[in-house]
Amino acid sequence: MQDITILLKKYADNTCTPEERAEVERWMAAPASPEPALWPAGEDEQEVREALWQHIRQATTGRSRAIRRKLLYIPAAACLLLALALIWQHNPMLLSRKLILRNGSSGVTQIFNIEELQLSLAPDSRCTLQVPLFGHHGDQVSLCGAVAVVNNSGHPVSLQVSSEAGSCTASAGSDEVTLRKGQTYLVMTDKDYNLIAATREELLDGLPRLFSSRLTERFKL
């Protein structure tokens, strides 16, 4: 009996050899002695066996629960990723961040570098920039005043531009443009035309003077 108690202690401490582990498991699987046997500390042999099996069942149940939790996390994470992918595919701007830029100066242009774009706000101008978190599905720019946008990235960038209706124009004007690397886009709100916009190349190519003169004056070109 002393031998099995020593083996059980080693088994509980996980320090027994494979042979000793097999011997303990054989002893646990064998029926208890028909004659009541007390262990050195006064324990009943059958109670010891039942306590051991209870401990093993609890440990096994705990591992099973942990495995089940992990298995539940996997499909939950997959569903979340799928939902995010569908949202991004149908409306990328739902997964975006919004930045509000202001220049209240009376005579100094302020420059802001936002990721791949450089935005120069003329005096007394404000701009709201909404940037998608993934991909290049088109930054959204709404403004009141005058903003010059430069594409500093290595790829084309699309912009969806609008004026702030009510606060600085009678009705919302809008424009869409795709800027190449290094290209500059000039846009301003106007009380008569709501929104006037052009790239520098379009100015050089002969934009109607009514619009080019206003851009030139506003941006001091």
- pLDDT tens across 166-192, in order? 777 767 788 999 999 999 999 999 888
Distance of CA 75 to the CA centre of its chain: 18
Angstrom distance (rounded) from CA 24 to CA 12: 10
The whole-number pLDDT of residue 1 equals 43
pLDDT of 221 reads: 76
The residues of the chain scoring below 50 in pLDDT are 1-2, 35-42, 80, 83-85, 87-88, 92-94
pLDDT at residue number 185 = 94
The residue ranges of every structural domain in the chain are 2-90, 93-219
Q: What is the pLDDT of residues 111-134, one digit of tens each?
A: 999 888 999 999 999 988 887 655
Quick one: tokens of 71?
Answer: 């298995």
pLDDT for 45 equals 58
Give the chain's largest Cα–Cα span. 113
DSSP conformation class of 180:
P
Sign of the alpha-carbon dihedral angle for 15, 20, 26, 31: negative
Q: What radius of gyration do the chain's Cα atoms show? A: 37
Residue 140, classed as helix, strand or coil, is strand
pLDDT for position 72: 55
Residue 197, both tokens: 């916009």
Is the separation of the CB atoms in 46 and 32 below 8 Å? yes
Residue 169 DSSP label: B
Residue 25: the pLDDT is 75
Predicted confidence at residue 172, as pLDDT, reads 77
What is the model's pLDDT at position 98? 81
